[in-house]
């Protein structure tokens, strides 16, 4: 029993109040040194959920994941976009170095379709990155997606409304985003695995190419066979 307890205490996912422990879980650099520094020199966790919480889309949140999209697509892994509020603007993504052959956009009809689709994307060996806009999620649904993320070992970023900030979440990383001045994005770390939250920084986004087009038609529709499983 003592060995089991000692093993649990070595796990950065166990909060110990006055202590913090550097996580040994695999991560991917955000591509922004100022943000990586605030994340303990790490970045986006692999095999775990990350949440970006914001009031409205289009404040530069896609640029936060752009360096990762570039690396994932260059490595030949698939990037899934689930229920984005607008259709990705392919020419801008291509100019930014994202290989469009490895980008798949999916729109689902209902919550059952969404959860089933996302679970399968997270568990697939071809997946490198999942970007999702889930809307309302029950805590049990977030836990369900967390388990799928752990099984797949890839990076998953959920873009959610800032009103869910107070909701309990098993996500390993939770970032609160707000627009800043001079093409910057303000980032407040409200949860990170293995250490205290509360770090803040501003990320320079450069020229902010428009990566999405409003009111474009959907690309892929559910429902799929077996979606109710």
Q: Phi and psi dihedrals of 8, rounded to 5?
A: -65, -40
Q: What pairs with residue 28 in β-bridges?
A: 44
pLDDT tier for residue 22 given thresholds of 50, 70 and 90? low
Q: Kindly tell me the burial class for residue 225, based on how many C-beta atoms sit within 10 Å of its own C-beta (0-12, 13-18, 19 or more).
A: exposed
Give me the residue label for tokens 């950065």.
12
In sequence order, which residues have a C-beta less than 8 Å from that of residue 172 and are 6 or more positions away?
Answer: 13, 25, 45, 48, 49, 50, 191, 192, 193
The number of CA neighbours under 13 Å toward the Cβ of 201 is: 17
Residue 8 has pLDDT above 90, yes or no: no
CA angle 154, 37, 63 (to 5 degrees): 55
CB 16 within 8 A of CB 9: yes
For 203-212, the pLDDT digits (tens) are 998 655 678 7
Least confident of 104-108, 142-146, 222-226: 222-226
CA distance 74 to 70: 6
Q: For residue 220, is pLDDT > 60?
A: no
Per CATH, domain 25-210 is 3.40.50.300: yes
Q: Roughly how many angstroms between the first and final C-alpha of the chain, as a whole number?
A: 38
Place of tokens 């889309």: 57
Element holding 159 (H helix, E strand) = strand 155-161
What are the sequence ranges of the domains in the chain?
25-210
Tell me whether residue 129 is exposed, middle or buried, using C-beta atoms within 10 angstroms of its C-beta: 0 to 12, 13 to 18, 19 or more.
buried
Please give the backbone phi and psi of residue 32, each rounded to the nearest 5 degrees, phi first.
Answer: -120, 110
Q: What is the DSSP track for 46-96?
A: SSEEEEEEESSS-SSHHHHHHHHHHHHHHTT-EEEEES-SSEE-HHHHHHT
How is residue 225 written in tokens?
Answer: 């066979």
Q: For the purposes of burial, counting CB atoms within 10 Å of the CB of 134, is it exposed (0-12), middle (13-18) or buried (19 or more)? A: buried
Give tens-digit pLDDT for 56-82: 998 999 999 999 999 999 999 999 999
pLDDT for 168 equals 82
């Amino acid at each position: 029993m003592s060995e089991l307890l000692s093993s649990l205490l070595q796990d950065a996912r166990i909060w110990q109040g006055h202590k913090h422990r550097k996580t040994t879980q695999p991560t991917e650099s955000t591509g922004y040194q100022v943000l990586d520094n605030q994340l303990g020199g790490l970045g986006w966790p692999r095999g775990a959920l990350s949440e970006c919480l914001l009031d409205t889309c289009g404040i530069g949140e896609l640029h936060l994941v752009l360096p990762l999209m570039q690396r994932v697509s260059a490595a030949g892994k698939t990037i899934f976009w689930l229920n984005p509020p607008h259709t990705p603007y392919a020419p801008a993504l291509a100019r930014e170095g994202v290989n469009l052959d490895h980008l798949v956009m999916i729109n689902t009809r209902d919550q059952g379709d969404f959860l089933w689709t996302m679970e399968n994307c997270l568990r697939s060996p071809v997946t490198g990155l999942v970007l999702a806009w889930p809307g309302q999620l029950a805590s049990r649904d977030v836990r369900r997606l967390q388990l799928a993320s752990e099984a797949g070992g890839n990076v998953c970023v959920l873009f959610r409304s800032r009103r869910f900030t107070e909701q309990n979440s098993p996500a390993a990383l939770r970032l609160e985003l707000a627009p800043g001045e001079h093409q910057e994005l303000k980032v407040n770390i409200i949860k990170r695995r293995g250490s205290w939250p509360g770090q803040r920084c501003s990320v320079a986004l450069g020229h902010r190419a428009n990566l999405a087009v409003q009111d474009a038609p959907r690309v892929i529709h559910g429902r799929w066979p077996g979606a109710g499983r």
